Structure formats: C-alpha cells, structure tokens
Amino acid sequence: MPGTSTYTKTLAIITALCQNEDFKYTEEEMWEFLKNTDIKIKQPSISTKPRHTSAYSMFMKENKKGMDDTTVLAANWANLKSTPDSEEYLRYVNMAQDKDRANGLEPSTGSKAQSQSVEKKLLIELIKTRTIGTPDADKPIFTGKKLDTPINCYKEWKKSQLGLSTTDTISRKDLEQYKLDDNFDISKKSMEGDDWDSYIRNHMIFADI
C-alpha cells in the first residue's frame, strides 16, 4: 500500500488547525503561507469532500475584509467566546451547524479534547515534514504554546535531564521538588544565566504559530 501523500497529510493538518477556535488563520491563509516555504505542494482548486464548519470560521467569513484583520478579529473572537451563552456567540454556532447540515454532515459537537488531540498529531506531522533533510530533523518536538516562558523551557530541560521523552509528563509534586532542587525562581521574567535559558528554541523544533 502506498504511503500517505504530503498533500493529504498537509490538508488534514490545515483542516484540523483551522477548525480549532483558538487558531487565528483561515485555510486560505495557511495555503498561502505554504507557498512561501520549501514545501512544494499544489493545492487543488476545488475540494469535493464537505468538511465540518466551526463557529469561528463563520465569524471570520462574515467579518474579515483583508489579511490585516486577522489579529484584531482573533481578539474580538476571544472576547466573544468568553461569553458562550451570549446571543451573538450562539448565532455563529448555529450558522456553523446549519452549514454542516446543508453539506449533509452531522453538526460537530465541538469536543475540544478531541480537536486538540487531532491537532497535536497533525502538528507533529507538519513539523516533521518541514524539517526533513535538515539538521533539525532529529531534534525533539515541542507541540505546546508559549515556547519562550521560563516554566515551559524549564520543564522541557528537566525532562531531558531525567532522560524522559517529550511526551512524558512530570507530576505536580515532583515538579515542585525539582524546582526547589534547581533553584527555579518563578518570579524571574528572564532565564538568562539558567541552564534552561531558551531551551526550547535552542534544542527543539516547533511550529511557531
């Protein structure tokens, strides 16, 4: 059986990312971004397979006027989403569900846990694809957010010191003890001089999105 094509993998990744309400770019913007990378993928002009629609995508479709709107609209959406019982938020939810039904799909339940799980798996594939044939190909992968915070850099550094995988977790109790042992000062805004200074940027690969 032939392996999954790069296009198919990338399509799945972009679709999953853009269905996440916390992701601020549209599918069109992601494909445009890929055109400026070394990943050579031809995007079909027409997709015949209907996909689930998110409330966020309906919000962007109704309000977006140009590329420069993304940051402002993403902030507006975050505020709107903070009141999930509001009439305006529910209007976009209903719009997305109506579009799903029109496409012959069962309206999405919006399970955040499921979407995050799928997103993480596909994000890993995107990062791997991007680094094939580069010196970074063998580096561990960071799939979290806020890659420049002291606590995230410390945790990834500590896992490497303990010989743990990046997918392993450190219990809260153990983490508190490790921070005491390593003189980790949570009040510090800078990591300069610490062993974990910019650890993620210097020792891992990631999608800076």
pLDDT band at 165 (very low <50, low <70, confident <90, very high): confident
Give the model's pLDDT for residue 42. 60
Where exactly are the structural domains of the chain?
6-117, 139-206
Rounded to an integer, the average pLDDT of 155-176 is: 89
Give the model's pLDDT for residue 115. 47
pLDDT band at 26 (very low <50, low <70, confident <90, very high): confident
Token pair 């999930």: residue: 84
pTM over 0.75: no
Tell me if 60 sits within 8 A of 92, measured CB to CB. Answer: no
pLDDT band at 46 (very low <50, low <70, confident <90, very high): very low
Tell me if 41 sits within 8 A of 10, measured CB to CB. Answer: yes
Instruction: Classify each residue of 58-83 as buried b or exposed e, where b means 16 or more C-beta atoms within 10 Å of its C-beta.
Output: bbbeeebeeeeeeeebbeebeebbee
Tell me if 59 sits within 8 A of 73, measured CB to CB. Answer: yes
Give the model's pLDDT for residue 116. 47
Instruction: Using the predicted structure, report yes or no on whether residue 113 has a pLDDT greater than 50.
Output: no
Give the model's pLDDT for residue 118. 56
Which value, in Å, is the radius of gyration of the alpha carbons in the chain?
A: 20
Tell me how long the chain is.
Answer: 209
